[in-house]
């Protein structure tokens, strides 16, 4: 086995163990949860802007967690998003992995930029951005991309699997824990939680377990995407190295 593969397996195993342990101990879960809160609210705000809703993220110091504040939708921002994504195809034309991501998101945006689709994306992409960031962390950990050493790569993987565990546990609790589901449906203060908002405004009230099941799928899919891109990067680098040798 190549030395690089041994290092990859070691940092992957250690990262998974650290991530799972961090999730299963209350103190470390409390500390790392602020990372996911920050990512969650940034996700609402970033996708709010992308879909034309000027947004500001903030921590909720009254009830805990976070909150994103939105303004009325502006169609001009939609046109700007299209322009950026289309220019991105040209700008990233020589960089395969970012180019694939850009084209994939452009296709998704085309199908979701209408009013209802945009609102669904704005609401869902709080949790959605959590697993997207986790996938980026996992990709960086697997590839060593922009990491100083193996310890930093291992920590990327640990953060990724903490977030993956948190989202899997969240979706599982919504589907299987009646007390957790009832508490979630009550919201916090005068705020309604994301998946409940999706049910009230876009789906039937009893569909929250189906949304939770979709989130299972999205979490697993994001892990596969990160691993797939890491394998693609390794293949491209090996191919480039072979061509240079020839």
Count of the separate structural domains present in the chain: 1
Per-residue pLDDT of the chain (246 residues; tens, 9 = 90+): 466 678 888 889 999 999 999 999 988 898 888 889 889 989 999 999 999 988 887 666 555 666 777 788 889 999 999 999 999 999 999 899 999 999 999 999 999 988 788 999 999 999 999 999 999 999 999 998 767 678 889 999 999 999 999 999 999 999 999 999 999 888 876 778 889 989 988 887 678 999 999 999 999 999 999 999 999 998 888 777 666 555
Residue 209 CB coordination number (10 Å): 15
- Name the residue with tokens 């596969």: 224
Task: Read off the pTM.
Answer: 0.90
Strand partners, 188: 191
Rounded to the nearest 10°, the torsion over CA 133, 162, 168, 14 is 110
H or E stretch covering 65: none
pLDDT at site 108: 94
What would the two tokens of residue 66 be? 């976070």
- Count helices and strands (H / E) in the chain: 9, 2
Q: Is residue 240 part of a domain?
A: no
pLDDT at site 201: 84
Q: Is residue 238 part of a domain?
A: no
Q: Is residue 204 part of a domain?
A: yes
Q: Is residue 15 part of a domain?
A: yes
Q: How many CA atoms lie within 13 A of 216 on its CB side?
A: 13
Q: Render 148-166 in DSSP notation, one character per residue.
A: SSHHHHHHHHHHHHHHHHH
Q: Which of 123, 121, 150, 155 is nearest to 138 (CA)?
A: 155
Residue 206: domain span: 3-233
Q: Is residue 117 part of a domain?
A: yes
pLDDT at site 114: 84
pLDDT at site 205: 67
Q: Is residue 241 part of a domain?
A: no
H or E stretch covering 125: helix 115-143
pLDDT at site 3: 67
Q: Is residue 239 part of a domain?
A: no
Could you tell me if 19 and 161 are in contact, meaning their C-beta atoms sit under 8 angstroms apart? Answer: yes
- SS3 at position 72: coil
Q: Is residue 155 part of a domain?
A: yes
């Amino acid at each position: 086995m190549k030395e690089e593969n041994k290092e990859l397996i070691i940092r992957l195993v250690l990262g998974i163990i650290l991530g799972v342990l961090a999730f299963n101990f209350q103190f470390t879960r409390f500390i790392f949860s602020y990372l996911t809160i920050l990512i969650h609210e940034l996700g609402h705000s970033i996708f709010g802007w992308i879909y034309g809703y000027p947004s500001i993220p903030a921590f909720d110091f009254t009830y805990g967690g976070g909150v994103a504040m939105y303004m009325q939708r502006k169609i001009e921002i939609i046109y700007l998003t299209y322009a950026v994504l289309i220019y991105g195809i040209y700008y990233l034309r020589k960089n395969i992995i970012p180019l694939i991501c850009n084209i994939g998101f452009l296709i998704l945006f085309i199908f979701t930029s209408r009013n209802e689709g945009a609102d669904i994306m704005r609401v869902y992409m709080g949790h959605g951005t959590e697993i997207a960031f986790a996938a980026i962390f996992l990709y960086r950990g697997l590839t060593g991309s922009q990491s100083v050493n193996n310890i930093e790569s291992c920590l990327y993987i640990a953060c990724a699997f903490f977030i993956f565990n948190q989202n899997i546990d969240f979706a599982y609790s919504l589907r299987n824990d009646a007390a957790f589901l009832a508490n979630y449906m009550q919201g916090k203060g005068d705020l309604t939680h994301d998946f409940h908002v999706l049910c009230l405004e876009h789906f039937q009230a009893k569909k929250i377990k189906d949304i939770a099941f979709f989130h299972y799928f999205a979490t697993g899919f994001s892990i596969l995407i990160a691993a797939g891109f890491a394998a693609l990067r390794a293949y491209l680098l090996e191919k480039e190295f072979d061509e240079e040798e020839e």
